[in-house]
Amino acid sequence: MAAIWGIDDPLLRGDHGDSVSVPDPAAPDSIVRHILFLDGAGRATPYSSTTEDEPTARIFAGRDGRVWFTLVDRIQTAELRYISNSELLGLLRGKGKGAAAWPKASEVLLARARAEEWGEHLIDFRALKGRAAADVKTTVDVLFTKERP
């Protein structure tokens, strides 16, 4: 088992080989919808998922993608909200709390199980609502690097 992840350790994201998917700050803000990929592949989401687990990031990267890196410090410097794995698991109970509130408890629990297994942490881009798409992309480009910090 890998060492226990700490707040100064990198967060990883499996994504395209040449760029990181750009969130849509104005998209539906349900965390359950985001984690469970409800509304299908490529659904607009205000969140960017990251993981503390490198094998998980590699699976999401697929054979043509790559693993990208970021840090909690960078997320906070960009004035975006960081939702840690422990906070996420706290929100995903019963019918969910806050942005994780959802009509079906069974789906909240499914999302929690996935978040737990994937070691998932979220970056919440809703603070950039109303900003130009190019600005959001610039923020993403600053956050994620190909090299491990």
The least CB distance from residue 101 to another protein, in Å, is 13
The least CB distance from residue 30 to another protein, in Å, is 13
The least CB distance from residue 8 to another protein, in Å, is 17
Residue 45, class by beta-carbon neighbours within 10 Å (0-12 exposed, 13-18 middle, 19+ buried)? buried
At which residue do the structure tokens 């737990």 appear?
116
Binding of residue 98 to another protein (CB under 8 A): no
CB count within 10 Å of CB 114 equals: 15
Cα angle value 14/17/21 (rounded, 5°): 60
Q: Which residues contact 41 (CB under 8 A, 6 or more apart)?
A: none
Query: For residue 37, which phi and psi values (nearest 5 degrees)?
Result: 55, 35
User: Quick one: 9 or 127, whose CB is closer to another protein?
Assistant: 9
User: Quick one: 22 or 36, whose CB is closer to another protein?
Assistant: 36
Part of the chain binding another protein (CB under 8 A), chosen from 51-59, 76-84, 131-139, 141-149: 51-59
Task: Answer yes or no: are the C-beta atoms of 14 and 61 closer than 8 Å.
Answer: yes
Binding of residue 149 to another protein (CB under 8 A): no
Binding of residue 105 to another protein (CB under 8 A): yes
The site map against another protein for 52-71 (x = CB under 8 A) is xxxxx--xx-xxxx------
One-letter amino acid identity for 84? S
Which residue ranges make up the site for another protein (CB under 8 A)? 1-2, 5, 16, 36-42, 51-56, 59-60, 62-65, 85, 93-95, 104-110, 112-114, 116-119
